[in-house]
Each structure stands twice: as C-alpha cells, then as structure tokens.
Chain A
Amino acid sequence: MNAFTQRLVPIEVEEPIRIPPSVPGGEVRTIMVKVPAMQDPKDGEIYLGVDAAAILDKAKARHMGVLAPQELAELRQRLGLTQKEIAEVLQIGEKTWSRWETGREIVSRSLNVLLRAVYEGNISLPWLRALLNPDEAVTPAPLMRICGVRWAPNAARDLPSSTWMVYGKVQQPKIEAEINAWSLLTGYKEPKNTNLWVDDSNAGVGLRHGHLDFVHSAGNTEEMPLGA
C-alpha cells in the first residue's frame, strides 16, 4: 500500500457531465451526477477512480439513449463472442467495436438502434448471423423477447443437466402469455442448431428454423410459421 492512498478519505461529490444533443444544432445539456471520490486531507484535492468514471459514463450514455461501454461488453459476453466475432456479425471493423467497448468513442447512433434491439432480446444472434449468409434458411423475425437468463440444473428431464433457463415473452400475436423457456446455451451460439425449448407448465414450445412448434400438454402439436 502507498502512504498516499492510505490517507485518502472516501467522500461523495457531484460532477457535471455534458450531454450531446440528439439532433444536429440541438442544445447541449449539463447534468450533475453523484459519484464516489477520494479526498486528500492534506490539501483537500479530490480524486475520482475507475468506479466513478463508470457511473459517469453510464449516466451519459443513458441520457444520450445509447448503450454504455460496460453494457456493450456485457452484451458481447452474453452472446459468447470475442470482439472480433461480434464485429464480424455487425459487419463493422474490430477496432471500431473496441473503441466503443473501451469507451474511447461513443457508439454510433444508427448502430445503437440495432444493438439496443439485440441487448433487449428483440433480435437474436442467429438472425444477425443470417444476414451474413442470406442463402441459409433461418428465423426471419425475432420470435421471443428474452427477459433474463438463470442457471437451472435438471430443469427438464429431456435436456442435459447443464441447461440454462431463459425467461422470455413470445412475440407472436397468437401466443401472448409469458412463458418459461429452456435454451441450450450452445444452441444460442450456433445458428444451425437453434433449438429453443419453452415450457409453460406442462406445455413445451420449440423453435426450429423458421417454424414454431407448439406442443400442448396433451401431446398434440401445432406448427406455426413465423410471421403468420
């Protein structure tokens, strides 16, 4: 430990951040954000750390309506992609993604719209990957809004024990009820093996290449084309 850092006293300060206008020529707003800081009792000098920077950056991004650097990193990790892989899927340069994720630059507003849809589960990774290979038969529209993921060992008898439980809401108008879904994590990564299992009490739903197979508890099956 350094003698200097040991004598610092934790405090809270309000720091100004400027919010760029959303339209060219618009007004620049300044907002105040409370952040943790450290004060040197010897000279009163105030220091901000990495945690304060993260709070300020998140506040700035939120007021701009764009994903913050930490949220971009979280999204990429959630999709199980490297920086190079996500850049390929988005059809941008790896350095561009790196600049956004590290906070060197604010994400472009146009691509932010797409990323926001992916972040909120309205667009899937297989769907994005399909844009790179237009000839492949893939899900043409977002099927399910992913609301959360949690670990669920032994969640279903017919699935491996290493199963992730995905909680979501089906977007199709014919199925409006909230459902619990099981998805193989590897299935989420591999578009060709997309196989999203959904369970609503005793019913199950599987997603397979452009069709929604709805399995009732009684065992009979309906096939519902996407976009119907």
Chain B
Amino acid sequence: MSILIPERWRQDVAAILDHAVAGTILVRQRPRKDWENLDIEHYEAGLYVVLADALSVPGALSGKEHTMKEDGECYSFTFRYRPPSANGEIELYTKLNLLPDGQVVIIYSAHT
C-alpha cells in the first residue's frame, strides 16, 4: 500500500545524498551494477545526485515503507529520470534506508 513519505526523512536523505561525504552513503553491489548497466555514460556519483534531485522535487512523494534487517527508516519509491544517452525519460525504482543516527543512507535498489 502506497503511503506519503515523511518530509523530514525526504529532506534528511536528500541532504546526505547531495553532500556525498565519505562514510555517509553505502550502496549495495547490485544497485551499483544496475545503475552502471542502465547507461554507459553513468558515473557512480551520478546516482547520488539523481536520487537527491528526485527527493528534492517539491510536493508530496508517495512510496512504500519497508522493514529491513538493518535498523532504520526505509522507503521505496519511483520517479522519472532521463539517462544521459537516452532520448526520453524512464521510470526508476529505488529503495533507501536512513539508519537510526540519521547520518547514513543505504541504497538497496536503483533500477527500472
């Protein structure tokens, strides 16, 4: 069931992804490869920027809440994104977890 993603979570996660300080973002190998395979013109750091941008768009953001093995507050959502080599936008699915200290984001998914 779709829910409204809390504004505080959205802002905190967007800020962490935007600043991209060492030790604050952890990407699993699978989403890293999915992102790389999505467009050959992708940089790794581009994933942080694209996700931060998606979370920074004004207005309500709907998604799903998840309970993961790792503690924290985890939501998944989809958003429109135009890869560098593509002619049009695609829909990207992502699942992100903000750990309890509010300082670290885990990226579990980033794929179409």
Q: Tell me the A residues contacting B by CB distance below 8 Å.
A: 1-5, 13, 15-18, 20, 28, 38, 42-43, 45-54, 56-57, 60-61, 69, 99, 102-106
Given A4-B99, A45-B28, A106-B84, A53 and B104 touching (CB < 8 A)? no
A2 touches B22 (CB 8 A): no
Closest to A4 in B: B70
Flag whether B29 is at the interface (Cβ < 8 A). yes
**Known contacts A18-B36, A48-B32, A53-B44: does B100 contact A2 (CB below 8 Å)?**
yes
Q: Is the CB of B99 within 8 A of A102?
A: no
CB pair A106 B41 closer than 8 Å: yes
**Per DSSP, are chain A's interface residues mostly helix, strand or loop, or mixed?**
mixed
Q: CB-nearest residue of chain B relative to A7?
A: B70
**Is B92 in contact with chain A by the CB < 8 A criterion?**
no
Q: A56 to B27: give the CA distance in the assembly, Å.
A: 13
Given contacts A47-B106, A50-B22, contact A103 B44 (CB under 8 A): yes
> Which of B21, B27, B37, B45 makes the CB contact (< 8 A) with A47?
B27
Smallest CB-CB separation from B70: which chain A residue?
A: A4
- A contact residues around B45 at 8 Å (CB): 50, 53-54, 57, 69, 102-104
**Are the CB atoms of A46 and B46 closer together than 8 Å?**
no
Interchain CB contact (< 8 A) of B40 among A5, A18, A61 = A18
14 more contacts with CB within 8 A, not counting A4-B70, A104-B45, are: A2-B104, A13-B29, A15-B29, A16-B33, A47-B27, A48-B32, A50-B22, A50-B23, A50-B45, A53-B45, A54-B45, A57-B43, A57-B44, A104-B46
